[in-house]
Structures are given as structure tokens and as C-alpha cells.
Structure 1
Amino acid sequence: MTTLPDEVLKDHLRHYAAFAEADRTRILAAVIKNYGRSVDHSDLDRDTQWRAAVQDLTTSPLTADLVESTARLLSNRATGPRPKFRPQSLLADIGAAVQQLPLSAEHQLGLALDMHEQGFAPVLTYAFNQWVTAGVEAKTVGRCLAELTVMGLYRLAEAHEATTDAALFGSGSAADVIRTGSRVRKHPRNYAAREVLLPLEFANYRLLAQTRLHDRIPANADFQPTTKTLYHDYVPGRDGVAILKSGFLPNRQQRIDLRRLHSALLRELLEYGLVLDLHPGNFVWDDHGDRWVLVDIGPIPVIGSDEYFIEDFSAYYTNTWLNRLTRERVEPIRSIDYSIEFPLDATAKSWPGAW
């Protein structure tokens, strides 16, 4: 499955050099923090060193010198030849560089620092509580990791705070959602949303509107290319997470319809090569139509999407829906922590952040 053409993806990786120093610094700091999560707490010396370094990053002014020197110290990078990333084979070169290194925080951070210093966006090979470099072909590995950077870490570039608009309906790490009457509009909050996520979400709308899923997505989608703002009809009702948090489980009719929709989604998504976020918060139960509507059809990276493509509906429903609230408690971060403002809690078993 693919979401961005190779050349477009490579252009975004190269665009890293054009970001402001503060944005590049923030991204590299997030990479350091996330690699720290891979360090075994029983390895006391390493764990203490990484915790102290992240604590310093979260309590000191975040400067390029501090972040780069921290990356050099933690990676213990020796002098010597650096990996070469050629324009014509950038994705394959990234994958090969990753595969040639041990899966350790120190080695992989050293590679991220190399990429940062050469003007390429660093890739993150530890996410979703595991190393994510599996793959036979180097280019496949490089593509998946690059996609994770562009759709994920690039949320830290050219970012701004949520709007204070009184009509604010919701705000996530990518966009502000504002409702006006029967319409909602999504405003991008960062580079990833503006240049990748919202344009691709609109493309997904146009595609799925021509399929059997046309009545399972919000109607009348439109896109303003100047502001990169996405519009569509408002879908009234409670989303899956709201239902779960109310203390109730989806009723029989909702379970039957979800099974039907999930099966249809898998067929269409696989056919068109789309990767969507099929978690409960993106499904709204439309009381008028007695059906689920997928209200967010923006793309997500292939890495981390496995659970949504489980063909066995019972396994998908149990893992992604029924266990949702429990997993939020026991796995406070199971994807990537894009923030760097939270100090490390020395008493916690995991690194602070949101699920």
C-alpha cells in the first residue's frame, strides 16, 4: 500500500533543509525522546543517561546546539565515513543505512543525526513500542520510515497553537475542526497537515465518493487550495470513543453495522491502496441513518496501521474497540510522542504523553 508517490515523498524529505532552525531542532529533539523509550529500564546506566538527557531537553531552552550536542553524546558517534544519500535512490539508501545498523537507540540516533546534518529529515525506527525496520527490500523500509517522518514528525514543523474560535468543534495534532451550522471545516495546524494530510484526505474523499462507501463518509467535501482547508457536511451523533467512555458498549445493531462497514472498508482500501485510521474516535453513529460514518478519512503511515487491517472482525473489534480504554491506561503512549515539553517521570514505566 502506498500513499505518496516516491518522488513526492523524497521532495518532502529534502524540504527538511528549508525548515527554520527551530523546527529542525524540535524534530530532532522528538527523535531523541522517542529513541529513549526503547532503552530497557533494567539497563540502569543507559536508562539513567537517556532519562537525564531528555530531562535536560525538556527543562532547558531548546536550542540547536543543545539538541545536536545531546544527540552526539547519546549516540556516541565515532568519526568516520557517513552514509551517502543519493537523490535518485534516497529511499533505498535510507533503508539500507537502517538495515546495516544494530537496532539500538544509540546506533539509530546516530543515523538520524547524520541525516539531520546532511539536510535530510531524520527517520525514526522505533515506534508503536517496537522496532519497525522489518522488510526484505531496503527501498520498502526506507519508504515506510520516510512516510512516518513526513506524516508524523513534520507535525512539529511550522506548527501553531489551536484556534480560539468559539465555533471550535475539536482540535488534534494536525488540524482544527470548526463547525458552522451543517458544515465543518478543517484548518491545518502544521506543515504535515497543510502539505500532506489534508490534501490527501480530500483526494480520499473524491475517490471513495465513487465507490460503494459513498454513504459511509461525510457528504459534499470541498477543498480550498490556497488555505489548504477541507470542508464537508457535519455528521451528527456520538463517536465510538464517546460511546465507550459513557460506560456502554456498542449495541447489537451497531456491532452488526460495524462488521459490515469494516469488511467493506478492507476491500476498498486494499483495492485503492489507501491506509486510513480506523480507530473508534473516527466513526460516528448516525442515528438518522442507523449506521456508522467514517468522519476522518485522512491518510496514516503504513507503519502502525496493522491492527486496522486485521481481516478477522472479532479480533479487530476486541483489540481496537473493546480494549481501547484499557490500553489507554496501560500504554499511555503506544505510537509516537511528538511533544518534547513533558519532563520524564522517573516513577513511570513509560514516557509521558498521550495515547
Structure 2
Amino acid sequence: MRVACKTSGSTIVSSAMRFSVVAFIALAGEQSVAASAPDYPTKPVTFFALSGPGSGFDTTTRAVANALTKEKLVKVPLPIENSPNSTQAMTLAATRYKGDPYMISVNSIAGMFRYATGTVRFNHRDYTPLAALISTYYAVAVRTDSPYKTIGDLIKDLKERPEKTPICGGTSDDRVFYGAMFSRAGVDITKIVYVSYSGGGEINMAILEGSCKAAMNSVDEQLALVEAKKIRFLAVSAPKRYASEILKGVPTLQESGIDFHWANVRYAFAAPGFPDHAKAYWTDVLAKMVKTPTWKQTIAKYNWDDSFQVEGLNETLDKKQAVVTEILTKLGMTKKQ
């Protein structure tokens, strides 16, 4: 009888203990999750620029970090880490930083280009997109003393003597721009001599040295040389002219007789497996940032368009990827299936 009683009592105590342990673990888990959001971040967050200094990735990444710091929206340091190789950087962002809540980066059509061509196996849905930030347009630039007065002059040479009319630009999204634009203008793009460079600084050097007749690049990456009157724009890919004093005299492609306009969207993203509390934190902080005076001054300085978007971002990027893949397929540059 005593044994039965002990056994019965032991069973009751054991069940109660099990219940208490489960309840304690559940409560501790809830407290841990609740505490993680207000306590985050507790150490520096690396802002990983996917290419070298002077590039669009670098400029945008630094602009975001600067605005967040200057407006005191983030209380921890935001150190910039540059990568000299965008292809490797896009892979590292998905592998080395997987699940890491302390890395933020910026991607663009350049990432879509690399995914379509097969040089990077990750697209936007493999990362954790946070928010679209800005759109930037492209320009066709020549040296100030170039004989080309209009983009029509350049197109004439590209049609009649393409082998003597080398052009230059970046390794990725600039190709999409020039391929689509000159195709619309009736140029045989397979005959164009195109020299690619890894960053905006190298492209600018090539146009200044005269090793290429014209440069294809985003407006913001070439703006400093325009201001210094070392280069000038023949046309821009925006749907309407810029309002700024320095660019308002530059015609659009459509005004120049080419029915085409094209924008590069730059968006903030994190690695795969980014924790939900960190995602909520950054989407909230970025939404506050784009309303600040510092950010508004920044987009005016670089002639960026405000394209902030969180809801439906993946779908927007899906559509952009489809266009990029279509253009590269026509250029014969998509990955082999």
C-alpha cells in the first residue's frame, strides 16, 4: 500500500515537475523573444558595400549609414566594409553572413545581371530584401572636348565604324543599359566594342584618358566629373529632364529620338535567415530615415529618385529581374540551362 501510495505520489510530483519545467521554458522563451527586439542591436552593424569606393554600391551604402548615424536613428557604429569584387561579395552576403543580424547591404540591377548570367546563384528572393531606397538613371558621357555633340553623333559612328568607336562601362547593369538603348536606336550591338570595368572610378579614368569614346554609367557615379567640367552628358535615361541647374540642359533619350527610359533600383537587404526581430527593426528605421533632412539632402545631391518601398518589394524586384533577363537573353548573355 505504501509502495502504491509512493508510486502514486511520485507520479503526481513527476507530472507537476514536468508541467513546471515546460511552463518555465515557454515563459523564458517568450521573455527572450520579447527582449531581443528592444535590445537589438547591441554591437556594430557592418554595412557591406558590394564593390569598391566610388561605385554606386559604395555611394549608396555610405549614404544610408551616414544618414542613420547623423540623425541618431541607430545607436551603434555602422562601419563600412568594401569588397573589390562584386560577384564574390554577392556570394559572401548569402553564405558568410547567413543568419547574421549584424550585416546590412545594398543591391541593385547589378545583382539581377549576375543572377541572369549565372555568375551568382543567388537572387533577391534568396536574400532578405528590406526596403527599396532609390532609383538612379543612366547617362551617356563623353569628354568635354569630344567631337560628339549629341547622342545621334555617337550612334552614327557606332553604325558606320563600330570597331573604331569603343565604349566603356561597368561589368553588369551598364551592359543592360547600353544593349537595350542602342538596340532601340537600330545599332547592331554584336559589333560594338565594349570595355568593362569593375567600378565607377575606373570607368571615369578610361573616359578621361580617351581610351573609350563614351561611357555608360549611372548619373551619380559621373556627376563629380560633370561638375568639374571634365566630362559632359549626351543624354540621360530618365523619363524627364533633371531639374538641377547642372543637368537641366541634358536631353532625355526620348527627346533624342530613342524611345527608351531605364532606372536602376537600389535596395537594402540582409542575408538569408535574417531574424524577424532584426528585419522589423531595420524596415522601421529605414522608413524613418527616408523622411529625415539628411536623407532628403542626400538624394538631391546625387539626383536620385526616392523609391522607398517595403510592402510588395519582392514582387517589384521579380518584374525587374524579368526585364533584365529578357534583355540579356537578346544579348546572348544568359546562363545556359
TM-score by length of 2: 0.29
Give 1 or 2: higher strand fraction.
2
Structure number, greater radius of gyration = 2
> Looking at both structures, which has the greater relative contact order when contacts are Cα pairs under 8 Å and sequence separation is at least 6?
2
